[in-house]
């Protein structure tokens, strides 16, 4: 069992989630229940799965939840890229979030590798 609040990956994914909530406030209202809602759910899923996995009894279970968090991070990455391609958000706004998200994915991959040995 790990103290998830001390995990850098959880802290960084929480920052991303905060960024996403601020970004969603700027998205067009007609996107509120479509893409915006999905982006928020994906963002929240990343730190939530890290926290849930950290609270499990074995490293194997933790690794499984890291895998789920990885899938959610990829989903969020896709949604952010799509938002930019649809001209809903500017590159200036989305790029810092994408950079943080890629950093979280790298940390996550390293953790999964650690638990695979």
Which residue ranges form the domains of the chain, and what is each CATH number? 4-116 (1.20.1440.60)
In the predicted structure, residue 43 carries a pLDDT above the cut 90? yes
pTM for the model? 0.92
d(CA 103, CA 61): 23
Angle CA(58)–CA(59)–CA(62) in degrees, nearest 5? Answer: 95
Looking at residue 115, its pLDDT comes to: 85
Neighbouring C-beta atoms of residue 60, cutoff 10 Å: 10
Please provide the average confidence, as pLDDT, over all residues in the chain: 93
- Report the SS3 class of residue 18: helix
**pLDDT 10s digits, 92-117:** 999 999 999 999 999 999 999 998 87
Nearest Cα neighbor of 10 from 104, 114, 113 is 104
31 — pLDDT class (breaks 50, 70, 90): low
């Amino acid at each position: 069992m790990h103290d998830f609040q001390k995990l850098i990956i959880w802290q960084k994914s929480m920052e991303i989630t905060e960024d996403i909530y601020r970004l969603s406030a700027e998205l067009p209202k007609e996107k509120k229940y479509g893409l915006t809602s999905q982006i928020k759910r994906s963002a929240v899923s990343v730190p939530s799965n890290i926290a849930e996995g950290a609270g499990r009894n074995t490293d194997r279970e933790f690794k499984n939840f890291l895998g789920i968090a990885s899938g959610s991070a990829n989903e969020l990455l896709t949604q952010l890229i799509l938002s930019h391609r649809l001209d809903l958000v500017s590159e200036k706004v989305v790029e810092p979030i994408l950079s943080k998200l890629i950093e979280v994915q790298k940390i996550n991959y390293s953790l999964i590798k650690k638990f695979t040995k």
